[in-house]
Amino acid sequence: MIREYNDEFLLLSGIQHMAFCERQWALIHVEQAWAENVRTVEGKHLHERADDPFKDESRSDVRIVRALPVLSKKLGLRGVADVVEFQRVDQAIPGETCTLAKRQGAWKPLPIEYKRGRPKSDDRDAVQLCAQAMALEEMLQVRIEKGYLFYGQTRRREMIFFDDALRERTVFLAERMHVLFAQGLTPKAEKGKHCSLCSLVELCQPKWNLRSRSVSNYLAKMCQVEEDILCEDC
């Protein structure tokens, strides 16, 4: 069981980077490197449409909250849920429903995450949504069984069930994030098929196989080499 984090919160959105590639996560969240490509820019635009800051709207038996801040002490993660739908149910069920301020009845929360492209072959989107659900569970003291991923390219929602396997995977990735962050470690570069989809591929340079040394240290060393060469030419 993961320990509770009371003041060591990492960005929840980073769990998708960890699921995709540990090195990518470390470059972004440990070394503070970032590179935008078409995918990241279009992805931000889609999120901006969903994240109309903390906007609350209601229709019949559904309350929709956008850009809802979430936090999990068990995962040590904090972030913002794109959309949470609260669906009114006929009767309260302990551990499954919650109450809402200025609203009557019992409600079931349903997290929805917006993504740019199509459903992916890996689980990076699912673990991010699961982390949001687990944070909501802590905050609302309920069990959330499912959520949805909305893909901009297909314009459809895909249902995700938060089973034990997905929850365990989410906890494992959160633990790895904290381990790497605490150690300030960037894993070595390993070239794979996923590298072509990474916005940091030029910075990462997986073909160089930089072992476990950090990119910042590598770049600093290269700068020193260039300075030495310039001095020799003086």
Domains of the chain from N-terminus onward: 10-233 (3.90.320)
pLDDT at site 195: 83
Which whole number is the average pLDDT over 124-153? Answer: 97
**Dist CA 113 CA 104 (whole Å):** 26
Q: Concatenate the DSSP letters of all residues of 202-222 into one string.
A: HHH-GGG--TTS-HHHHHHHH
The pTM assigned to this predicted structure is 0.79
**Dist CA 151 CA 154 (whole Å):** 6
| Lowest mean pLDDT segment, chosen from 4-13, 103-112, 182-191, 217-226 | 217-226
**Dist CA 84 CA 67 (whole Å):** 8
Label residue 207 by pLDDT band (50, 70, 90): low
